[in-house]
Amino acid sequence: MRKIILASNNQGKIKEFNFMLKGVYEVVSMGDMGVKEVPETGLTFVENALIKARNASEQSDLPALADDSGLNVASLNGDPGIYSARYSGGNDEQNIDKLLKNMDGIKNRTAYFYCAIVFVEHANDPTPVIAIGKWQGEILEQRQGKNGFGYDAVFYLPTLKKSSAELEVSVKNIISHRALAMQDLLAKL
């Protein structure tokens, strides 16, 4: 089985990628390989994923996968967007608190999670493989559920009548933005 580095130290993402790539790749994290993070200076999810993939590949001499994903809320002009993980300057709970405060009194709660995954064979790969996934939902007025991470507890799926944090991991890993992007990536590879 081929070894690949995932340009992340986010334990939630590492678990999801290991589940989705089981039997295809042996996934190692940046921490496993001593790879240092690089600033995400891109203006889009794709740019940030490419920056992270090239950095991880360069420091590890392995093919690399990176994703950049986030929550886009229509009534907040797409915020928190590429800044989702650092929206409040704090942790996941503080990010949710800020989001709920900013949405107080807003009726249009339409939102979507967006994920860009980039695969590079090596740091200077001129033909990176780019895959995209988009997951539609709504923002709840309060947290619901205990599973997942990030904004899962406030991301509601009307068709399932559940928040992302109420889904079984096996279900989320089939229908989420990251799962959809991974399906797209595996088809392209």
Q: What is the CA radius of gyration of the chain?
A: 16
Rounded to whole angstroms, the Cα distance separating 110 from 95 reads 18
Written as six digits, the tokens of 2 are 């081929």
Residue 157's SS3 state is: strand
Residue 162 dihedral angles phi and psi, to the nearest 5°: -145, 155
If you write DSSP's letter for every residue of 69-130 in order, what string do you get?
EEEEEGGGTTTBGGGGGGSSSS-HHHHHHHHHHHTTT-S--EEEEEEEEEEESSTT-SS-EE
CB atoms within 10 A of CB 134: 12
Residues that are catalytic: 68
